[in-house]
Amino acid sequence: MPYTMTISPDFKPDLISGWYIFNTWLQKQIGESIHIEMVNDFKELANAIDKDSIDLIYANPCDITKLIREKSFTPIAKPVGAHDETVIIIREDNPVSDIESLPGSVKIAMTDVPNVNTIGVILLESANITPADIETIT
């Protein structure tokens, strides 16, 4: 049975033909059949995700939270040269150079967008930082 791949509906429609070219290339690389199932809107995407009918997805950052937390998806690639919705930064004079070196508790400023905040918390998990270890500042 072939895998089913979709692309988040917020990506430009004029790039759809490129996804079919990529799909052909990917099938040859992994030796597996992949069917592209395009969705028209976010409701259709959410229904497909909820029904577990998607195996591969090029998702936007806001969908990543649900895919990782609730559906056990694993991120395997991201676009080169593009910025994610969530960025973790530190002051220039801070000696920490990677997430894993952060102390056990942190003070952070968060946005008012819950999905973006959840992605940030997921990124902090590699430093064993949980929501209980976070003090938010405004």
Element spanning 120, H or E: helix 114-124
The confidence score (pLDDT) of residue 97 equals 83
Does 74 fall in a domain?
no
Q: Are 34 and 5 in contact (CB under 8 A)?
A: yes
Domain that holds residue 122: 99-137
Instruction: Specify the number of domains making up the chain.
Output: 2
19 in a structural domain: yes
Q: What percent of the chain has pLDDT over 90?
A: 30
Does 88 have pLDDT greater than 80? no
Q: Is residue 82 part of a domain?
A: no
The CATH number linked to 9 is: 3.40.190.10
Residue 84 maps to a domain: no
Report DSSP state, residue 69. Answer: H
Residue 60 resides in a domain:
yes
Which helix (H) or strand (E) is 70 found in, with range?
Answer: none
57 shares its domain with 113: no
On whether both 60 and 13 belong to a single domain, the answer is yes
pLDDT bracket for residue 83 (50, 70, 90) = low
Task: Confirm whether 78 is domain-assigned.
Answer: no
**pLDDT computed for residue 127 by the predictor:** 85
Whether residue 44 lies inside any domain: the answer is yes
